[in-house]
Structure 1
Amino acid sequence: MKKVCWPYFDPDFDNLPERINGPTCRVCIDNESMEDCTLVKVDSINKQGLLLEVVQVLTDLNLTICKSYISSDAGWFMDVFHVKDEQGRKLRDQKVINRIQQAIGTTREIPSPPKAKAYINDLFEACHPSGHTAIEMSGTDRPGLFSEISAALADLHCNVVEAHAWSHNSRLACVAYVSDLSTDAPINDPQRLASIQDHLATVLRATTAPASLSPGFGGCREVIKTGGFQGGEGITTCVERRLHQLMLSGRDFDYNGPPASSTSPRTPGSGQDGEEEWRDTVVSIENCTQKGYSIVSIESRDRPRLMFDAVCTLTDMQYVIFHASIYSRDGYAFQEYFIRHNDGYALCTDSEKERVIKCLEAAIERRVCEGVKLKLYAENRTGLLCDITRFLRENGLVVVRADIETQGEKAMNAFYVRDISGNEVDMEFVKSIKKEIGTKIIELEVKNDTRSRPPVSRERPHFSLGHRLKSHIGRFSHNFIAIK
């Protein structure tokens, strides 16, 4: 029998690049260096969008990023995050720590989502629960619109498995995952999908004011997209990114009408006892000519997912973040990003800078809602969402944000609501929803989320990336693999 010879391969050859340059991605969880938070240090070969993927992993776990230093020049990504859990403590759960290391350690192998070539009617698919049909829509908002959308889906025999909606600057964006009401299967029939799309488009267009009288949006059209996509884990983060993209495509940042009472930024002025009035969000951009960067500085109220909103917007607008510094103090957050456009150039024109400023302000403010937060845990049934939203609409309450989830026979409906006339919401009236809905409410949680003004600092803290990046990243650099 003729002997077959195969070429010899050294089994250690595949590990040679890692042995020379160190591992392509290393994650270190440090619980010893800081007393009040955990340090998450990431050292990796850089790629476009990697920072957003890492921030998505942390926000998916509901971790608060209170400070961060980022450097990604010369093809290498080095990042340090100061994080806390939902209770404001260090990370002690080993399962959470292992999940962070595993998720971030594999982000470099996860293909980045397709890039949006344009922001008007050129949308790409979002993550969502496997086995359901995704419906994305955006249009001009009006009182009761989310209720009308819920009623339309019920009339079309669609079971809403999950839904998320944001309202900002008279624009509404909504992502819903539905199944067929009778079979609980995805809706794949092209004719039926087209019918759903046409019906929802009619609902979105049925505004009480002519298009010429709707201020601020200059011909932006309603967007509805349906499809039976395959999804995966990380649904909430993916959905939030899609909502940002839908709002961006609807140009909510370009609104010229009267500001909404819930999210309107206040300008500095004379308040009681001579204090300055609170300023929600201030964004400024200047160019670093010597290094070819544009420096984006953001000052705003601190809150969960703030860094995600900023990084998500810059990434989706096709900007690359090379360095960044983020920290918070006394309820106020400061962010600084050194960016260039994908083509390698800094922001050159005043119009481009103005657009970036408006988009970042909108991204930070669109998630924030003042008013009453209403959470209902109930036994799921057909038409439950439609009944709840109709009850709110008929009693003069406007839904400015909604998060709907179902798990088997249980449904969790979370709404931020405001009085349509701008008056205080009657808390006792809201609590009466338990007997008005006509279903078994397992739990009703009502919380007034109107934000109080934090104490005003007389001194603006020094916020410069240069010395902070050197001092803090230098302190942690001994934990990273050196690049030869």
Structure 2
Amino acid sequence: MDDEFAKLNRRINPPRVIVDNGACGHATFIQVDSVSKHEILLEIVQVLSDLNLNVTKAYISSDAGWFMDAKTPWKGFFKLVLHIFITMFYVTDNRGKKITDEETLGYIQKTLETKVYILNSMKSSANLIPSKDHTSTTIELTGNDRPGLLSELSAVLTDMGCNVINAEIWTHNARAATVIHITDRSTGHAIEDPDRLSTIKELLFNVMKGDSDFKTPSARMFVSTSRETHTGRRLHQMLLADRDFERHNDKCSMEPHVTVLDCSDRDYTVVTIRCLDRPKLLFDTVCCLTDMEYVVFHGTVITGRLEAYQEYYIRHVDGFPISSEAEQQRVMECLEAAIERRTTQGVELEVITEDRFGVLSEITRIIRENGLSIKRAEIRRNGGKANDRFIVSDVMGNGVVDPKTMEMVQKEIGGLGEEEGCGMKVEGNNSSLLLSTKLPKEKHETRTSFSFGNLFKGRNFHNFNKLIKSCS
């Protein structure tokens, strides 16, 4: 009977996606209407996040029961048929401008329609849609964070003849999580030999374990030959499972402000978030709530020049609001952790070069030997090019790094290249320094370029109510 009602619901309320540049003067308007289903909001936000679009405003609404009295006859039937999920987003590119490229606009429309249609057709949306890409082996690791960790991991993989094609590493609250996609150097395909996988697993486990107490589980690993979950979401899940939200020190003034309150008259729990605005913030908060098995029924997102405000009306997937203070506290802590994982203070280093075997091991070794610690990293390989981004700090975790150290890093990494004309820009402590060097001739036919940039400098909130402005 439930399946028949679901089919009727889809026929009455087919998915609809609107992408409009005329609805708002300074942002592209996107609206998605669909049957309400768990995880559909995350899927929509994930599409916008992967395109590096900035959400300046968003409105979320569902649950026809909001407008009905609890004693209304046939309420359950009408809620099923009329349970429509409506989301509206105002988005800009990374320059704060409307999306004007027709190809990008068409991609947004087509991708959102496909995502919504597939989710509406699924009987259950417990997991994201598996990929059919079996060309690489996926390694997932969590453990204690420490200086030189990524350097040691990449050195082991190089020694084992593994080519890193994509990887991300996040660190938060003294914990580290990484998702690494590797191929066999000789074949270029996934590694599936059980004995070899077992050896790689043991070596990487020992690296993650480090010098920690043997009796304390500090590293976990999972090897797969398919990519089933979005990497950003998977890293959130891994750190959440590793309980990185448990704090061992006092809070500082720069941390996000999260409140969780009852809305008893409507049987909701209200979550409000105030924090510094940054890219992918909406994805991180929605991902956290979804993975904690909460459903967002109504929501508002408003961003200003630096600050962001989010308000969600949520229930657990079982249909009930949060019923205990302990669970309220846990939701607050987990949301704070989800926001902080991408806000590592440090200096950004970007290395672009021709891809070749072992180059990641060489770059991370140079960073480690110069007394720097990698707090976050994105490793990408595409079309024979390597594009690696690192957020680095000193070994004590301080985001301010000595310019002389940066100059030494530039010189040594520059030595991996062959041609001239490499430049490095360092920004920090309200100062800017441009350093340049000529790259020596090497046997490797590569060209390497760099850029450094200061990230996530904290500011206190002032006159937050000024952020609440209508789109014009």
Quote the Cα distance in structure 1 between the aligned partners of 2:360 and 2:292.
Answer: 34
Match of 2:155 in 1: 151
Counterpart AA for 1:21: I
Match of 1:251 in 2: 243
Distance 1:68 1:224, change over 3 A: same
Quote the Cα distance in structure 1 between the aligned partners of 2:226 and 2:49.
Answer: 24
Match of 2:452 in 1: 447
Quote the Cα distance in structure 2 between the aligned partners of 1:134 and 1:462.
Answer: 42
**Which structure 2 residues correspond to residues 386-425 of structure 1 after superposition, within 5 A?**
386-421=361-396, 422=398, 424-425=400-401
**How far did 1:42 drift?**
1.2
Tell me, yes or no, if the aligned pair for 2:307 and 2:461 is still in contact at 8 Å: no
Counterpart AA for 2:336: E
Counterpart AA for 1:427: P
Counterpart AA for 1:426: D
Distance 1:288 1:367, change over 3 A: same
**How far did 1:127 drift?**
5.6
Aligned to 1:186, what secondary structure does the other structure show?
Answer: coil
Name which of 388, 395, 406 aligns with 1:430.
Answer: 406
Name which of 179, 190, 197 aligns with 2:194.
Answer: 190
Counterpart AA for 1:153: L
Would you say 1:38 and 2:28 are equivalent positions?
yes
Match of 2:222 in 1: 225
**Which structure 2 residues correspond to residues 97-176 of structure 1 after superposition, within 5 A?**
97-111=105-119, 115=126, 130-176=134-180
> Structure 1-normalised TM-score?
0.79
Name which of 266, 279, 304 aligns with 2:252.
Answer: 266
Tell me, yes or no, if the aligned pair for 2:59 and 2:87 is still in contact at 8 Å: yes
Quote the Cα distance in structure 2 between the aligned partners of 1:102 and 1:434.
Answer: 42
Quote the Cα distance in structure 1 between the aligned partners of 2:32 and 2:200.
Answer: 45
Counterpart AA for 1:442: R
**How far did 1:126 drift?**
7.4
Tell me, yes or no, if the aligned pair for 1:85 and 1:91 is still in contact at 8 Å: yes
Aligned to 1:446, what secondary structure does the other structure show?
Answer: strand
Quote the Cα distance in structure 2 between the aligned partners of 1:255 and 1:454.
Answer: 22
**How far did 1:179 drift?**
0.6
Counterpart AA for 2:259: S
Identity %: 38
Deviations for 1:29-84, whole angstroms, at most 9, x for unmatched residues?
22222111111111112211111111111111111001000001131011110111
Would you say 1:210 and 2:201 are equivalent positions?
no
Counterpart AA for 1:63: L
Match of 2:232 in 1: 240
Tell me, yes or no, if the aligned pair for 2:141 and 2:177 is still in contact at 8 Å: yes
Match of 1:215 in 2: none
Aligned to 1:196, what secondary structure does the other structure show?
Answer: helix
**How far did 1:408 drift?**
4.0
**How far did 1:110 drift?**
2.7
Counterpart AA for 1:247: L
Could you tell me which runs of 5 or more consecutive residues in structure 1 were left unpaired when the two chains were aligned. Answer: 1-15, 117-123, 213-218, 260-264, 268-278, 476-484
Quote the Cα distance in structure 1 between the aligned partners of 2:219 and 2:177.
Answer: 10
Match of 2:80 in 1: none
**How far did 1:461 drift?**
4.8
Counterpart AA for 1:203: V
**How far did 1:203 drift?**
1.1
Aligned to 2:389, what secondary structure does the other structure show?
Answer: strand
Deviations for 1:237-268, whole angstroms, at most 9, x for unmatched residues?
x1101111111111110132x47xxxxx533x
Counterpart AA for 1:33: A
Deviations for 1:314-368, whole angstroms, at most 9, x for unmatched residues?
0011001100000011310000010001111111111101111110000000111
Count of matched residue pairs: 415
Tell me, yes or no, if the aligned pair for 2:258 and 2:272 is still in contact at 8 Å: yes
> Structure 2-normalised TM-score?
0.81
Distance 1:103 1:125, change over 3 A: closer
Name which of 70, 73, 81 aligns with 2:89.
Answer: 81
Deviations for 1:218-242, whole angstroms, at most 9, x for unmatched residues?
x5541101121156xxx8xx11011
Counterpart AA for 1:252: D
Would you say 1:70 and 2:75 are equivalent positions?
no
Counterpart AA for 1:414: R
Would you say 1:338 and 2:329 are equivalent positions?
no
**How far did 1:434 drift?**
4.4
Distance 1:78 1:94, change over 3 A: same
Would you say 1:368 and 2:373 are equivalent positions?
no
Aligned to 2:188, what secondary structure does the other structure show?
Answer: coil
Quote the Cα distance in structure 2 between the aligned partners of 1:229 and 1:158.
Answer: 17
Could you tell me which runs of 5 or more consecutive residues in structure 2 were left unpaired when the two chains were aligned. Answer: 1-6, 65-82, 418-445
Distance 1:451 1:19, change over 3 A: closer
The farther-off stretch of 153-162 and 221-230 is 221-230
Distance 1:40 1:393, change over 3 A: same
Aligned to 1:204, what secondary structure does the other structure show?
Answer: helix
Distance 1:455 1:288, change over 3 A: closer
The farther-off stretch of 47-56 and 102-111 is 102-111
Quote the Cα distance in structure 1 between the aligned partners of 2:131 and 2:327.
Answer: 30
Match of 1:296 in 2: 271
Counterpart AA for 1:134: T
